[in-house]
A and B are shown apart, each in its own frame.
Chain A
């Protein structure tokens, strides 16, 4: 997919670009309102990732103009304005998703991909990883073409893993993905472990390989690479 990232902080911009590019996406950058407007006007993008506080304007105005000119692009807002009102306003103006700072790159990646799938394939495209395949629209997971019987959270975890394959997902990032801000208790990480154990068992039962690697006790990586 082709992504335009609008963010005035160069360092964050580069991190987002690197992360998304490594996933095989084409990633373009804009550091201000004016460049963003120009690029959106000239080139087609699948996804627009945008900060709201830009040095020369308000990101919400870009959302407005995109909607007014009927430009077909999915919009994800990344903002430090964490007032609920801002979120509601952005979504009402036509943004598709709103991610509060600080966010994990893996979370942004998951949101961008999910949005892209919804828009391009109406979620009907399978996500594949060797013998594992996921059908997002029906929330089904197959291992060697056998449907797994997963709980909601187990599905969310494996989906998050497959979208961020080969990447380190810290326990905190997984917890935030599964429960949002709700879980800030130490116990939260214990039941990630429980969910993972169950998930591993269910995949193994269908002769699936165990791709879930524990990394330094800080998190997990879903990968077939050593």
Chain B
């Protein structure tokens, strides 16, 4: 629900509760005043009658007199106001006793009270009108306020949507005289600065690590090769040196792959190339032809012309990783079937070893065979690439065959 709707709903609700209360209040006050008026009129008529009798010694004509009855002198009557219903009309009666020329009378003065229903109706409609106008006014003011007072707030939201931690572009918040907004802007500005700083630090840290580690690896590895060149190594020394050599190689590959992952996650590959997928696949198979032939793997291709918009480096990496994976986890004289159809790439291959469980397969450093020399980073990298473009990468095991499927958008 939008802020404006929310506020208006509140107002509407408030007025909805207020309106009946208002009507009730008004009615009570109205009725009280009206009754007072009626009573006052009756009393003043009573006084007028008394004054007339005093002056003229006879009862005057009065439209108020409802009845005058003789009564026994011993009957005492007090002045009394009484509400009564006479022929469907509500009336107020003033009943009192009067002595005139030795005769005793019971005088009843009558005054009609205004129709309650009409009063109700009048009060409700007039109050409704006022409340309606009030709501209209509030609504208008609110809309204006919403546009005017909140405008910097909405502009800042739009600006915030465009914040990208990976670039150095500063968010310029709109100045506002509203203190709370200004505070919010300040806090968000500080947060963004901090996040960008952290991001930059992390990026630099990653870069530094991968940079700084490469030179020592170069030196260490070349020294080991130089050592291996020297003669007279006994078996034990040789084994140790070989182990060092392999581990250094592994270290180098890990750091390269992790750097690649972090660069993909940092979205450093931002080109949108028009990538011809079948060409990429064929080139890749060409490069890997030797290994494929060596393993005697039969490659079946069924490629529909497909073009996608993405960074060609990433697509190269993605497809290479998947094809390499299909070669590596294959058996001698196995097969690989690559199909490209309806913007989906399916790579099916005969399997060799116990596959990793489905939910773990894209984890970093996850290997089908723990003894394997592979790092288990290839599929993690593939997964990362797919995430960037919202491609769907799925793995399934069909009998003894493994299948990876990439659904391009």
Contact = CB atoms under 8 A, between A and B. Distances in A.
A212 interface: no
Q: What DSSP secondary structure best describes chain A's contact surface?
A: mixed
Given A12-B218, A81-B211, A102-B221, A185 B291 contact: yes
Interface stretch (B13-21, B25-33, B73-81, B225-233): B225-233
B324 A185 contact: yes
Contacts of B290: 153, 179, 191
Given A101-B217, A172-B249, A187-B294, A80 B222 contact: no
Interface stretch (A38-46, A137-145, A215-223): A215-223
Contacts of B156: none
Contacts of A80: 210-215
Interface string A159-184: 00000000110101100000101111
Contacts, number: 96
Interface residues of A, number: 41
B218 A103 contact: yes
B295 interface: yes
Interface residues of B, number: 41
B222 A53 contact: no
Contact of A218 (B228, B313, B320, B372): B228
Q: What DSSP secondary structure best describes chain B's contact surface?
A: helix
A53 B214 contact: no
B122 interface: no
Interface string B282-305: 000001101100110000000000
Contacts of A53: 211
Interface string A194-218: 1000000000000000000001101
Contacts of A101: 214-215, 217-218
Contact of B253 (A100, A184, A219, A221): A184
B224 to A, nearest CB: 9
Contacts of A129: none
B259 interface: yes
Given A188-B291, A216-B238, A219-B228, 10 more contacts: A15-B223, A82-B256, A101-B215, A168-B228, A170-B228, A181-B256, A185-B291, A187-B294, A215-B228, A216-B242
